[in-house]
Structure 1
């Protein structure tokens, strides 16, 4: 009798785990329909202003990933922070083979890749 009761509780728990009472799953990539978007008050950046915005956001992500506040990232810190481009290309960025990279090294590597992509 106890086994039947335990089995019934298990089945009920499993059935309820997929019901409407469960928290809804958020989409992987949030999308806002065009008619609901709020336009920026500033004109779109380009040229040097765009480059400065990108560098600022990169710096913010780098600093947030630097959990030990050393001013450098290890491959594990980059990976945990979701900086895939850094963790996946860590060996190429870490030219001194020290096991850590500075923000300047990451930026130099990105600039080098961008320059190579512009070449015909």
Structure 2
């Protein structure tokens, strides 16, 4: 299992997420996706091409990069991906599964 860390954030302790897999950092901390998105998207696409069930996204860093990472993970895994959500009160990461093709009422 792999935990794809969207962007490295210096000083942020993410060690608690290691129980879900080995870390793979998608973007270094100094990346500005708004200045030129092409290189960042290509890099993320290459790193996420093997994303599969059992892997996770750790949604940290630039919000634009987070959006790209979620889109790519869904693309490479038939609309399904999992994230690690930080619970500040408990001090733990919890896995959340997302399926963009899930059927159901829009107002549910």
TM-score normalized by the length of structure 2 = 0.26
Higher Cα Rg, which structure: 1
TM-score normalized by the length of structure 1 = 0.24
Identify, as 1 or 2, the structure richer in strand.
2
Identify, as 1 or 2, the structure richer in helix.
1
